[in-house]
Amino acid sequence: MEKGYREKMLEAMRWEDANLRKHIEQHRLEEWTQETQKLAEQAVDQQYDDVTEAQSTGNPPKALPAKKLWVKSTEVTNGLNGTH
């Protein structure tokens, strides 16, 4: 690659990184991913517990109803602007 093109490409990539960091912080994406992972793990643990319990009682495993794990949006507001 010629030097001028490479410098322009690196500058564009730095701008993209800065812009992405701004959005990650502004929209609290790290907290969102952590909470999403926590809820997914709880769902898997609960399903595993339900299947284990069903098998221990001698009942064949069956499709278990999904449990509601989400909360109302008003329960997770951050207090800053009331939208998150």
Tell me: the pLDDT tens digits for 27-37? 898 899 999 99
pLDDT at 1: 66
Q: How many CB atoms lie within 10 A of CB 58?
A: 6
State pTM to two decimals.
0.47
Distance CA 69, CA 46 (A): 11
Instruction: Name, in order, each residue with C-beta under 8 angstroms of 45's C-beta and a sequence gap of 6 or more.
Output: none
Task: Answer whether 10's CB lies under 8 Å from 17's CB.
Answer: no
The whole-number pLDDT of residue 69 equals: 56
Residue among 78, 81, 67, 80 nearest 32 (CA): 78
